[in-house]
């Protein structure tokens, strides 16, 4: 499946997907990276792997979210994109865009959903005193961090953890589960049906 990765920052998850997709049998091919921030470190990293990385600066569109998304959508369609992967993409999508890519767009969130939706998840996990934390890959739905769950990975919270130390531990699990989850979706083994992620036998 022709796949685009959307980023806003350093792009370490993007890199883990690019690495995984090098395997000949991997069912997704990363053919495009789009950043909504011109200064995202991930842009140069994608290019160093020979993957075209484009900037679509949301600031150019002011408050008109849909104008930005229409342009993004046109870019994806022009490249024949079949799957959209959000990897540290820090923009909420409007219901129009989410509906258009329903079942074909996934995101990774650095917490075990439905706990700790939104930002600053590692700080909040430490404040709450949970003993397990982690990351979740989910289909994107109109509610923030609310879509059907595809995969999760857990890590222990250790005494003396700082948000940075905990975040680094979670990141290693993100790099493991995101390529696995993308493979499940790209191969058709997991689909979105009636708002839930449903497993099936591998597509023929």
Distance of alpha carbon 122 from alpha carbon 133, whole angstroms = 8
Q: Which of residues 161-200 bind ligand GRF (CB under 6 A)?
A: 171, 174
Q: Nearest approach, Cβ of 40 to ligand GRF (angstroms)?
A: 8
Tokens of 204: 């023929």
Q: Which of residues 106-135 bind ligand GRF (CB under 6 A)?
A: 108-110, 135
What backbone phi and psi angles, to 5 degrees, belong to 187?
A: -85, -10
| Residues 89/14, Cβ–Cβ less than 8 Å | no
Q: Nearest approach, Cβ of 19 to ligand GRF (angstroms)?
A: 13
| Residues 113/138, Cβ–Cβ less than 8 Å | yes
Distance of alpha carbon 36 from alpha carbon 14, whole angstroms = 14
User: Quick one: which of 1, 12, 19, 146 contacts ligand GRF (CB under 6 A)?
Assistant: 12
152 binds ligand GRF (CB under 6 A): no
Among 109, 122, 138, 175, which one carries the catalytic annotation? 109
Mark whether 120 is an active-site residue: no
Distance of alpha carbon 170 from alpha carbon 133, whole angstroms = 7
Residue 38 is given by DSSP the state T
Q: Which residue is nearest to ligand GRF (CB)?
A: 88
Q: Nearest approach, Cβ of 109 to ligand GRF (angstroms)?
A: 6
Nearer to ligand GRF, 35 or 76 (CB): 35
C-alpha torsion angle, residues 189, 172, 105, 180 (rounded to 10): -10
51 binds ligand GRF (CB under 6 A): no
Residues identified as active-site = 109
For binding to ligand GRF (CB under 6 A), which residues are involved? 7, 9-14, 87-88, 108-110, 135, 171, 174
């Amino acid at each position: 499946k022709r796949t685009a990765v959307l980023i806003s920052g350093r792009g370490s998850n993007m890199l883990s997907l690019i690495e995984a997709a090098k395997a000949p049998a991997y069912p997704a091919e990363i053919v495009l990276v789009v950043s909504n921030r011109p200064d995202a470190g991930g842009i140069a990293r994608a290019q160093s792997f020979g993957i075209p990385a484009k900037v679509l600066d949301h600031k150019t569109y002011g408050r008109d979210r849909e104008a930005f998304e229409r342009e993004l959508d046109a870019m994806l369609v022009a490249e024949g994109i079949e799957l959209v992967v959000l990897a540290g993409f820090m923009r909420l999508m409007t219901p129009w865009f989410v509906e258009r890519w329903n079942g074909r767009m996934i995101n990774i969130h650095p917490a075990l959903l439905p706990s700790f939706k939104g930002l600053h998840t590692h700080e909040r996990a430490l404040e709450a005193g949970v003993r397990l934390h982690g990351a979740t890959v989910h289909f994107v739905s109109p509610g923030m961090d609310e879509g059907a769950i595809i995969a999760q990975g857990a890590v222990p919270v250790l005494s003396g953890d700082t948000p940075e130390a905990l975040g680094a531990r979670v990141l290693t699990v993100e790099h493991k589960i995101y390529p696995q989850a993308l493979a499940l979706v790209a191969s058709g083994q997991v689909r979105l049906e009636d708002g839930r992620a449903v497993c099936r036998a591998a597509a023929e």
